[in-house]
Structure formats: structure tokens, C-alpha cells
Amino acid sequence: MQSVLVSFLLTLRTAARSRAELQLEVLALRHQLQVLQRTRPRRVRLAKTDRWLWVVLSRIWTGWRTTLVVVKPETVIAWHRQGFRLWWTWKSRRRMGRPTVPADVRTLIRTMSQANPRWGAPRIHGELLKLGLDVCQATVAKYLGAGASH
């Protein structure tokens, strides 16, 4: 009799919840079953995708803690914080210096300098611009041949 009453109360509770919330709960429970079946004889092992799923669920669904059985809710929160730290580490990484000039452009600059020894960096820079190569004049001067006049 008591189990029938509990089942009835649970049914009333699910009837009061939104369809989206029920779908999220079904997704969460099925995912946990899949993880448990995948790692049955051994210790439960979660892949990165499993962790990301729970982080996303924790962000979009308020009732995620009640269905979580495989790990502690604090663990999911720790995953979320770790992901946030990784994202900001990636976002704030140092991008040092200018982008490198391709090797073929460097070779072209040296070839033009050797073929036209009286041309300096401004002239070679102008010719490269005519070819559609956008290279700074200081970069052209940097890659000129050793005996070129400026």
C-alpha cells in the first residue's frame, strides 16, 4: 500500500513539471545508465563528453542535482569551474609579436634585392604592394640581402 502511495505522489509530481524539465531528467537518467553499463565491472569512468553534458545540464536545468547519482553534485560544479578556468586561460594567452612572413615572400624579397641592387626597401615594398603582397616596409628592410643598399 505504501509503495502505491509513493508511486501516486511521484506521478502527481511529474504531472506538475514542464515537459522540457521531464525531457532533461530522462536524458540525465539515460546517460547515467549508459555510463554504468559501459563501465560495469570496473570503477565508473567518465569521458570528457560525459562531463560536458553534466556541466551543460547544470547550467540550463535547475533540477539537475536530484537526478544525479553517478557523481556528487560538487564534482559537476568543480568540472564547470575547471572548464571556466581553462576557457579564460585560453582566452588570455599571450600572442607574441607579429605574424611571420611566409618563406616564399622572404625569398622573393631577397631575389628582388639581388636582381636590382639599387633598389632599397621602399621600392621593393612598393613592388610587393603592386603584386598584392601586404608586407610592412620595415619587414622588407629586415629581409633584404646583405649587400643591398637602402
Contacts of 141 (CB under 8 A, 6+ apart): 120, 121, 150
| pLDDT exceeds 80 at position 85 | yes
> Exposed e or buried b for every residue in 108-140, given b needs 16+ CB within 10 A?
bbbebbeeeeebbbeebbebbeeeebebebebb
| Cα–Cα distance, 35 to 17 (Å, whole number) | 26
Residues above pLDDT 70, as percent of the chain:
83
Measuring CA to CA, which residue among 82, 69, 72 is closest to residue 31? 69
- In 3-state terms, what secondary structure has residue 70? coil
Contact 77, 58 (CB under 8 A): yes
Average pLDDT over every residue of 86-92? 89
State residue 11's pLDDT score. 67
pLDDT single digits (tens) 9-29: 666 666 666 788 888 888 888
